[in-house]
Structure 1
Amino acid sequence: MENHVSCDYNGSPQPEEYARQVSNALLSTDFDILRAIADEILLSKDLDRFIFTAGNGGSAATASHAINDLMKGCRVWGREGFSSICLNDSNAVITCLSNDFSYDDAYSILLRTIGRRGDLLIVFSGSGNSPNIIKVCQTARKMGMTVIGFGGRDGGRMKSLCDLCLIAPTYSMEQIEDLHMFYIHSLICTLREKLKNVWDIEVISYPSGEIPECAIFDFDGTVSLLREGWRSIMCEYFTDELLTCPKAPEKDNAKVIVTDFIDRLTGKQTFFQCLELCKIVKKYGGVPKEPMEYKKEYLYRLMKHIQSRLDYLKDGGNPAAYLVPGVKDTLIALNEMGIKCYLTSGTDEVDVLKETGLLGVSNMFESIHGATDSNSILCSKEQVLKNLIEKKSVKGNRLISFGDGYVEILLTKNVGGYAVAVASNETLKDTSVNQWKRQRLLEAGADCVIPDFTNTSRLLKFILGKR
């Protein structure tokens, strides 16, 4: 039996006593149900479903306030909150439907008009017996929606119509409404934290909605996780080289200098970063080595770091362990749509070919491009873009790119393509956004940001402008 806090309706408790009663009721809440409600609301992102709320009187105000928090309060890292609307917010619509049909049917008619199977209805009712709330819950269930209720007292008829129903443990209507508002704010704080690890799209500008002709993928960090850790290895090595210079800056400053040019040139061949190191070493009074000497030493250190991963795949290990989540499904889907995929990388081409083979994705690309062993300063990504546009007559607005480096974003934008930034968290290998990558890619002009390719279906719908 639910533990309800009694209230003396004939008395007039002092503010302190009222606060005590509300606090006691709050502490008697079934927080397991509240957590389950948070998880159910969170599913709306993956399911791409709409959330509707409704209530009467004070509960109508709570239902309206909930939308404010679901839309604005649940924005995380520039990503939109939940697609949601309050059924009782439009006075014109409610009075129209109530006058021409009946007040009891107003919410149901609205829901039938704009709702769809799979959506979520959240209702608020102190008594749980309001006819319009009962009818809208019945309508939602017939339409195949999930129903969440916030009630009070014994839950009323509404309780049995809900998939999840949280009862405010008190018989005082004022306290019920207080607790409902607390529950909403508690939910929003919980959701905002959870949303950091939920797949979503941060939109800066929208795609044209046309099917792209070509898709260009970066390799490391966008397709492959084999070389995770390369940046810290390069930074450490290059910083050590800079510190040997006669006029070398302090270690912390040296690291900042090195990190800055490595990040700025990420996406181009490693040779570019080695060329820049030569300039920096000379600037601080040192005698630079040949760029290829820097490159060979860096690659030696990197290969020591990743050799066990390569051996794992050579021995028949599961490639999914070293693929960015969802990327293989996305490549398959793009190929099935007739979109030609190309792979470009600043990593040496011979290594990219070996690694794509080990990862089982080499046959998903029209062609694969990487750096050569020569001292070429031509950017393979720039060459691929130029070839697609000039030789294959691909219009910029029919080109889409996926990458986690500054360079590919800039190149794509320069030719009028749509640039999807993949802010993959290579260390944690989860769906959280790498904030350092995100900021850098936004500065480069990314059109949207995703953490990985986990939700292939939703990503492709977005690219094609579909809901």
Structure 2
Amino acid sequence: MTWTPWLSDYFHRYKTALADETPVAKLVAFHDLAAETRAAGRKLMFAGNGASASIASHCAVDFTKQGRVRSVDFNEPNLLTCFSNDYGFENALAKAVEFYADPGDVLVLISVSGRSPNVVKAAECARERGLKVVSFTGSAPENPLRGLSDLDFWLNSKAYNVVECIHMMWLMAVVDMLVGKAEYAVA
């Protein structure tokens, strides 16, 4: 098999996603929300499953260190296994929101499907507490997480790696917007 046409098609998926201007206004809105959260001394809480959990962890660090917005993620193995054991896996992230959320905090949820029960329940819990919910999804346009979000970022793709990488690019763009430039010292 020659990989050149395959790779051309593969990277075309990224080009198409990045050429779409639809998320620009939402990226500005998320920047503004993160800046307001920072100014109020509140925090961003990140969560997801699998690779989305890894993105959530990365974001919690970069939003804190570079963007100067206090941020946490709910990927600590002890926390997840304890809450999953005691409350059920589908309730673990909602319980984390229940224990960690303060008024004015923002919950950022990352889920390609937007249907993971634990992520959806976390959004429901946040909404019940009056918190803003920001979501990053893909796959089907009609997913429960989008409907529970104040600000939703959706990518029209079923290619998991493409969706996850675009989510990461969008999130890192907001970090760099908070910094005010793309190139800066990180130490």
TM-score, with normalisation over the residues of structure 2? Answer: 0.89
Identical residues among aligned pairs (%)? 30
Contact conserved, 2:45 with 2:71, CA < 8 A, in 1?
Answer: yes
Within 5 A, what are the aligned runs for 1:386-397?
none
1:168 offset after TM fit, Å? 1.7
Contact conserved, 2:93 with 2:118, CA < 8 A, in 1?
Answer: yes
Contact conserved, 2:37 with 2:104, CA < 8 A, in 1?
Answer: no
Structure 2 match to 1:191: 178
Contact conserved, 2:61 with 2:71, CA < 8 A, in 1?
Answer: no
Structure 1 match to 2:73: 86
Does residue 56 (structure 1) correspond to residue 43 (structure 2)? The answer is no
Q: Partners of 2:131 and 2:13 in 1: how far apart?
A: 35
1:13 offset after TM fit, Å? 6.4
1:155 offset after TM fit, Å? 5.0
Structure 1 match to 2:40: 47
Which residue, 76, 99, 102 being the options, matches 2:85?
99
Contact conserved, 2:109 with 2:119, CA < 8 A, in 1?
Answer: yes
Deviations 1:8-37 (A, max 9, x none): xxxx96223211111112212421111111
Contact conserved, 1:105 with 1:132, CA < 8 A, in 2?
Answer: yes
- Cα distance, 1:13–1:71 mapped onto 2, change above 3 Å: farther
Contact conserved, 2:42 with 2:104, CA < 8 A, in 1?
Answer: yes
The amino acid that maps onto 2:104 is G
SS of residue paired to 2:180: helix
1:95 offset after TM fit, Å? 0.8
After the TM superposition, which segments of 4 or more aligned residues of structure 1 sit over 3 Å from their partners? none
Structure 2 match to 1:177: 164
Q: Partners of 1:116 and 1:186 in 2: how far apart?
A: 26
Deviations 1:293-342 (A, max 9, x none): xxxxxxxxxxxxxxxxxxxxxxxxxxxxxxxxxxxxxxxxxxxxxxxxxx
The amino acid that maps onto 2:136 is F
1:167 offset after TM fit, Å? 0.8
Deviations 1:412-439 (A, max 9, x none): xxxxxxxxxxxxxxxxxxxxxxxxxxxx
Does residue 18 (structure 1) correspond to residue 10 (structure 2)? The answer is yes
Give structure 2 stretches of 5+ with no counterpart.
182-187
Q: Partners of 1:16 and 1:72 in 2: how far apart?
A: 36
Within 5 A, what are the aligned runs for 1:300-311?
none
Structure 2 match to 1:134: 120
Contact conserved, 2:146 with 2:152, CA < 8 A, in 1?
Answer: yes
SS of residue paired to 1:35: helix
Q: Partners of 1:193 and 1:25 in 2: how far apart?
A: 23
Within 5 A, what are the aligned runs for 1:142-157?
142-153=128-139, 154=141, 156-157=143-144
Contact conserved, 1:70 with 1:84, CA < 8 A, in 2?
Answer: yes
SS of residue paired to 2:130: coil
Structure 2 match to 1:312: none
SS of residue paired to 1:14: helix
Pick the structure with more helix per residue: 2
Contact conserved, 1:127 with 1:155, CA < 8 A, in 2?
Answer: no
Structure 2 match to 1:347: none
The amino acid that maps onto 2:91 is D
Higher relative contact order (CA 8 A, sep 6+): 2
SS of residue paired to 1:30: helix
Structure 2 match to 1:68: 61
The amino acid that maps onto 2:57 is S
Contact conserved, 2:44 with 2:108, CA < 8 A, in 1?
Answer: yes
TM-score, with normalisation over the residues of structure 1? Answer: 0.37
Structure 1 match to 2:107: 121
Q: Partners of 2:69 and 2:27 in 1: how far apart?
A: 18
Contact conserved, 1:120 with 1:146, CA < 8 A, in 2?
Answer: yes
Q: Partners of 2:156 and 2:18 in 1: how far apart?
A: 8
Contact conserved, 1:155 with 1:167, CA < 8 A, in 2?
Answer: no
Structure 2 match to 1:316: none
The amino acid that maps onto 2:164 is E
Q: Partners of 2:177 and 2:104 in 1: how far apart?
A: 23
Q: Partners of 2:116 and 2:151 in 1: how far apart?
A: 18
Count of residue pairs the alignment pairs up: 176
**Which has the larger Rg?**
1
Structure 2 match to 1:258: none
Q: Partners of 1:49 and 1:155 in 2: how far apart?
A: 31
* RMSD, aligned CA: 1.7
Deviations 1:26-49 (A, max 9, x none): 212421111111111111122221
Deviations 1:425-454 (A, max 9, x none): xxxxxxxxxxxxxxxxxxxxxxxxxxxxxx
Q: Partners of 1:95 and 1:19 in 2: how far apart?
A: 37
SS of residue paired to 1:179: helix
